[in-house]
């Protein structure tokens, strides 16, 4: 009878643990990145009243007679199924679609999470909600990311700039009208940039000098430039037959290097001479002024691209993700974070989308994977199990009472 009472006590303890786990799951039904847990019971060690014996000449074998001692918790396992994605609209909210965890750092110790509610702190470091630093790679000056290097904190200083680039070419296309009289002038203008990124007003003029021939002149901020060659010729089909590239030089902006760039007339939409209106205009150019960081965006491979005030973009870094041979072996450390254990295996770190790592979805959060219908069912099971085991103790107590009352 004492054995039955202790078996009932073990059942109460086990079902209380189950109730604790179910309650924890339900409490975190709206926690981003939360992974539910499930409890597995196992039979406790049984007491052997009589051992088994083999068959003999006069009788057959006899089975052992074990008496069970109740139940115990065998394991509490994490359920790492994908949670639903919720669109938040915040550029720094990230969700992993598939396998993998974001890697966080706190004082040199790494943690792992599926909760991607990140933001940039006052110095431009990407951090998680609890202040842990998000790890990845920072791009070099050319915007290249070396994912073979060790991961570190991702810092994007708000003062970061893109250096200016002097103009190297200006593409001009369109039509110089063959109907124009000799002496007619067609002009087009564009802003180019010197070596310091300062804007310079360029005006290119085309003057008709004869049948199928034109001269080219140009000014920069009103200063005459040297054009080489300085003449254009077209054949009778309106196709340019002279050099398609004209070099411009001869002016030095204050404090900058001398201007030196090309007018390209034979690009994808070349300059032609047909009848009708003249439509010669600038189609493309390179060069830019200094660019100040204005905003950023995350790509599905975790790449962070900065948008700058001069219209250019540049890769500035990349978020890392990690996978494990046994994610169920991770240790929960609170705040929706996990730590590696001897049974999880080492973190295999890489860029999102590589190997078996899932891609990153920006502007969304992965919600809890708690199934409320299942948890409420488990709640009833735990309650009924607890209730049934309490009845074992009550019945055993009544039997003990009857035993004590035998002398009355």
- Strands (E) located in 7-97: 37-43, 47-50, 65-67, 71-78, 85-87, 94-97
Average pLDDT over residues 358-377: 96
Q: Are 79 and 35 in contact (CB under 8 A)?
A: yes
Model confidence band, residue 404 (pLDDT cutoffs 50, 70, 90): confident
As a whole number, the mean pLDDT across the chain is 93
Q: Is the pLDDT of residue 228 over 60?
A: yes
Query: Which pTM does this prediction carry?
Result: 0.79
Asked if residues 340 and 112 have their Cβ atoms less than 8 Å apart, the reply is yes
Asked if 362 contacts 94 with a C-beta cutoff of 8 angstroms, the reply is: yes
Contact 124, 105 (CB under 8 A): no
- Asked whether the predicted pLDDT for residue 103 surpasses 60, the reply is yes
Summarize pLDDT for 249-302 with one digit per residue, the tens: 999 999 999 999 999 999 889 999 999 999 999 999 999 999 998 889 999 999
Task: List residues bridging with 95 in a β-sheet.
Answer: 361
CA atoms within 13 A on the CB side of 168: 3
pLDDT digits (tens, 9 = 90+) for 322-359: 999 999 999 999 999 999 999 999 999 999 999 999 99
Which DSSP state fits 4?
H
pLDDT digits (tens, 9 = 90+) for 135-185: 999 999 888 999 999 999 999 887 888 889 999 999 999 999 999 999 999
Label the pairing between strands 85-87 and 94-97.
Answer: unpaired
For the residues 385-394, what does the mean pLDDT come to? Answer: 92
In this prediction, residues 186-196 reach a mean pLDDT of: 95
Q: How far apart are CA 408 and CA 403, in angstroms?
A: 10
């Amino acid at each position: 009878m004492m054995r039955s009472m202790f078996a009932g006590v073990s059942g109460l303890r086990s079902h209380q643990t189950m109730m604790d786990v179910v309650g924890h799951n339900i409490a975190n039904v709206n926690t981003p990145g939360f992974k539910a847990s499930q409890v597995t019971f196992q039979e406790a060690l049984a007491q052997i009243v009589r051992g088994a014996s083999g068959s003999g000449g006069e009788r057959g074998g006899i089975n052992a007679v074990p008496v069970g001692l109740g139940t115990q918790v065998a394991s509490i396992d994490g359920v790492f199924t994908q949670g639903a994605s919720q669109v938040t609209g915040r550029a720094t909210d990230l969700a992993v679609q598939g396998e993998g965890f974001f890697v966080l750092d706190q004082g040199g110790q790494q943690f792992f999470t599926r909760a991607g509610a990140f933001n940039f702190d006052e110095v431009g470091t990407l951090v998680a909600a609890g202040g842990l630093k998000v790890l990845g790679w920072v791009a070099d000056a050319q915007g290249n990311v070396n994912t073979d290097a060790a991961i570190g904190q991702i810092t994007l200083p708000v003062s970061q700039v893109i250096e200016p680039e002097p103009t190297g070419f200006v593409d001009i296309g369109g039509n110089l009208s063959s109907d124009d009289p000799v002496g007619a002038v067609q002009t087009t203008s564009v802003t180019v940039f010197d070596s310091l990124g300062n804007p310079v007003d360029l005006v290119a003029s085309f003057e008709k000098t004869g049948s199928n021939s034109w001269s080219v002149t140009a000014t920069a901020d009103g200063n005459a430039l040297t054009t080489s060659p300085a003449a254009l010729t077209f054949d009778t089909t309106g196709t340019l037959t002279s050099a398609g590239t004209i070099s411009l030089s001869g002016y030095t902006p204050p404090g900058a290097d001398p201007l030196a760039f090309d007018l390209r007339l034979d690009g994808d939409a070349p300059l032609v001479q047909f009848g009708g209106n003249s439509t010669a205009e600038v189609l493309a150019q390179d060069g830019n002024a200094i660019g100040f960081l204005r905003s950023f965006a995350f790509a599905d491979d975790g790449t962070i691209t900065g948008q700058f005030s001069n219209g250019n973009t540049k890769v500035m870094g990349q978020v890392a993700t990690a996978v494990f041979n046994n994610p169920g072996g991770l240790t929960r450390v609170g705040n929706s974070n996990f730590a590696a254990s001897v049974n999880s295996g080492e973190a295999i770190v890489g860029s999102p989308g590589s190997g078996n790592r899932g891609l990153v979805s920006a502007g969304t959060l992965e919600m809890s994977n708690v199934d409320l219908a299942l948890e409420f069912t488990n709640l009833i099971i735990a309650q009924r199990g607890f209730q049934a085991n309490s009845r074992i103790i009550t019945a055993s107590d009544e039997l003990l009472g009857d035993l004590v009352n035998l002398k009355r």
